[in-house]
Chains A and B, each alone.
Chain A
Amino acid sequence: QKEVEQDPGPLSVPEGAIVSLNCTYSNSAFQYFMWYRQYSRKGPELLMYTYSSGNKEDGRFTAQVDKSSKYISLFIRDSQPSDSATYLCAMRGTNAGKSTFGDGTTLTVKP
């Protein structure tokens, strides 16, 4: 079993929809939780970062971490065609540690 499991997708939604992307994990030592966005043929770029449990909001994006359930989510409000990309969750236990990535969910937002 993988340490990090990500909803595989692909996901296709109409413009303006609310999108929910999810990951579960098994390692209770994980404390740092990240979401990356990766456009086709590009490197991943950091989208959201959360330390420990709780919510974090940045514009149309909200990241949630529920450590008791070992579950993290990324919500995208008012989705736009420019949000079409692959989204990767990542997490690690210590600041000096290595990050473990999910396999990614490909999102398409249709105009």
Chain B
Amino acid sequence: NAGVTQTPKFRVLKTGQSMTLLCAQDMNHEYMYWYRQDPGMGLRLIHYSVGEGTTAKGEVPDGYNVSRLKKQNFLLGLESAAPSQTSVYFCASRSKTTLRETQYFGPGTRLLVL
């Protein structure tokens, strides 16, 4: 199992450009999340999904869109990048089971917006 993978690992954008971050998981997890992590601010939830075809806003959704067309993939889009979106983005997935915690994170995507 590869677990949670993220593409790309690093990207530089100019203000106003668009891009899509891809998250893929091979654990058949129902829940998927996108977070951003900034220095001293922990992890902040951008958007999340509780199943294929469903998405919901998190704590800091403005400027981002998401789609979950397939259970194993969760895409995060930036339509018009801004310097304030410079951050490290983490994807995570989690099973619905309550028997034990099963949230796994990807390795992160470092995004620099100039």
Contact = CB atoms under 8 A, between A and B. Distances in A.
Interface of A: 6, 32, 34, 36, 41-46, 49, 51, 88, 90, 95-96, 98-99, 101-104
B20 to A, nearest CB: 19
A104 B40 CA distance: 8
A15 B104 CA distance: 29
Contacts of A42: 107-108
B50 interface: yes
Given A95-B98, A103-B40, A43 B107 contact: yes
A48 to B, nearest CB: 9
A44 B101 contact: no
Given A43-B107, A90-B43, A98-B33, 20 more contacts: A34-B103, A42-B108, A43-B4, A43-B108, A45-B104, A45-B105, A46-B103, A46-B104, A49-B101, A51-B98, A88-B42, A95-B98, A96-B96, A98-B45, A99-B103, A101-B42, A101-B43, A102-B42, A103-B41, A103-B42
B90 interface: yes
A102 B35 CA distance: 13
Interface string B82-100: 0000000010100010101
Contact of B50 (A36, A49, A90, A96): A96
* Interface size bracket, B side: 20 to 34
A104 B90 CA distance: 15
Contacts of B41: 103
Nearest to A4: B42
A34 B105 CA distance: 14
Contacts of A6: 42
B21 to A, nearest CB: 14
A34 B42 CA distance: 14
A44 B50 contact: no
Nearest to B107: A43
Given A42-B107, A42-B108, A96-B50, A34 B101 contact: yes
